[in-house]
Chain A
Amino acid sequence: MGIELLGGRILAPFFGSSVHIWGSIITVFMLSLSFGYLLGGKLSTKNASLTKYGLIFLTASIMVVPIALFSQPIMEFIFTHIEDSRYGSLLASTALFFIPTVILGMISPYSVRLLVTDSHKSGQVAGILYFVSTLGSALGTIITSFYFVLAFDVNTIISAFALTLGLLGVLAITVNSLAGNKELAHA
């Protein structure tokens, strides 16, 4: 959500700040999350492990970086080739946010797989996960829009998000290699 919010900031210089900007961003995020859920669920059926879980975080972290590094040339290219700012912003937000958000979407179903040990409790686990991830989204939204934008550059915030994801990935992999698969339940 933090990234989604900054999306508006990133696109505005090229595509304006009209309502269609938010239409583009929210569409792309919803679409890519939905694919991410599907992929994450599928992936969780094949030898799920904390290491792979950590790799998802690491990949997400790496995929977020281009938003900070290459957004200018990408948007410039789209801006000069597409006259209509609705489709321009849709394409730009796809180019910038689709891949990282698909990967971020994979995290939730994979977490369910790792956390559910007893099918009786699967509903409860899913409930807790939804709680944590949606609460996290809410916090990410308010902290980014109220405070981060006042204190930091957009790219600094994006890099901090990428770094956090990367650290979580490394943490998951380290925990796994230290304790083996026994620790799964504590992921």
Chain B
Amino acid sequence: MRNCLLFLAVLFSVAAHSNVVHEERSLYRNIIVDETGNLRCLKFNTKSSQTSQSCMYKNDPDKLVFNYTKLTFASLLVTDDPKNVLVIGLGGGTLSNVIHELYPAAKIHNVEIDPAVLKVARDYFNFIETDNVTSSVQDGRIFIKRAAIKKQKYDWIILDAFNGDYIPEHLLTKEFFEEVQSVLADGGVIAANTFSSSKLYEHESATYHAVFGDFINVSRANRSNRIILAGIKTIPTQAQLNERISALAPRLKKYDVDIKAISTYMQSTKNNRDWPADTKVLTDQYSPANLLNF
């Protein structure tokens, strides 16, 4: 038993040894690509493994690493096959790659503020770009504002611009969500990956609710990391859900996404509001998101 533990400890320390493959200082942050055994990760800032933005198994690039990335696919249970996808916040481009593989005919546009992140996604994470998969270096809010003026519509909008340490406050306000809503196609869905905790969790929920009405939280017991599915006009019936689950399950298996299990983490806020009714909604006028997120 003791030997076994010792062996595990040695194995772990070998496995935990990570190599920095690439390092650069961008306009916004330090970017590090490091490898621990088979796992290659994009990290912001240094040392702490908490800040991993995107990871990939080198020997199995299809397999998704992060739970939240997997949870994002709950979106597919509440909408039809997406044709126009907008991803705000690229990271390693993992989401874009998987969606492109699943729906090769779908148009996917990625918006990333940091040109260095886009470069790293191309060079180290096999970020696929085709005629259908495009990307632009821009602030997400500006992109959406311009898209609204051009009357563009997307049926799956993924908001993934929060990195855990810092929240771009202008991407968490009522006005921003209204702009997002204006580029959402009928029957489409918005999936937001959020890390909010404590007070901010409540403000965030209240703000989503103020714009979209009831929404769906997708999260495990630990409520600090959740996917919010918003903008859904009609919540599918259990029969529709089951149908979609059985259609998607085999297709999502290779990405290590257990859509059946994920469907059990989904909870509508309809009969389950977990924030006080008088919670202040975040607006462009009042958005101290980072100060609220302790």
Interface residues, chain A, with chain B CB atoms under 8 Å away:
9, 12-19, 79-80, 85, 146, 149-150, 152-155
Contact = CB atoms under 8 A, between A and B. Distances in A.
Contact of A154 (B139, B168, B285, B292): B285
Contact of A85 (B139, B149, B292): B139
Contacts of B173: 13
User: What 7 pairs across the A-B complex have the smallest Cβ distances?
Assistant: A16-B139, A153-B285, A12-B170, A150-B288, A154-B285, A149-B288, A13-B284
A109 B142 CA distance: 40
Contacts of A9: 169, 284, 287
A18 B139 contact: yes
Chain B interface size band reads 20 to 34
Interface string B260-294: 00000000000000000000000111111001100
Q: Which of B113, B138, B170, B175 has the most CB atoms of chain A within a 10 A radius of its CB?
A: B170
A16 B286 contact: no
25 contacts: A12-B141, A12-B170, A13-B170, A13-B173, A13-B284, A14-B145, A16-B113, A16-B139, A16-B141, A17-B168, A17-B169, A17-B170, A18-B139, A19-B27, A19-B28, A79-B145, A146-B291, A149-B286, A149-B288, A150-B292, A153-B283, A153-B286, A154-B284, A154-B285, A154-B286
A64 to B, nearest CB: 16
Contacts of A85: 139, 142
Given A16-B138, A85-B139, 17 more contacts: A9-B169, A9-B287, A12-B169, A12-B170, A14-B145, A16-B139, A16-B142, A17-B168, A17-B169, A19-B28, A85-B142, A146-B291, A149-B291, A150-B292, A152-B286, A153-B285, A153-B286
Contacts of B149: 80
Nearest to A72: B284
B208 interface: no
A146 B142 CA distance: 26
Contacts of B162: none
Describe A's contact surface by its main secondary structure.
Answer: helix
A13 B141 contact: yes
A79 B146 CA distance: 9
Contact of B176 (A13, A146, A152): A13
Nearest to B140: A16
Nearest to B176: A13
A15 B285 contact: no
Contacts of A152: 286
B58 to A, nearest CB: 33
Given A18-B113, A18-B139, A80-B149, A13 B27 contact: no
A176 B170 CA distance: 46
A16 B161 CA distance: 13
A157 to B, nearest CB: 9
A146 B292 CA distance: 11
Contacts of B113: 16, 18
A17 B139 contact: yes
Interface in B142-189: 142, 145, 149, 168-170, 173, 175-176
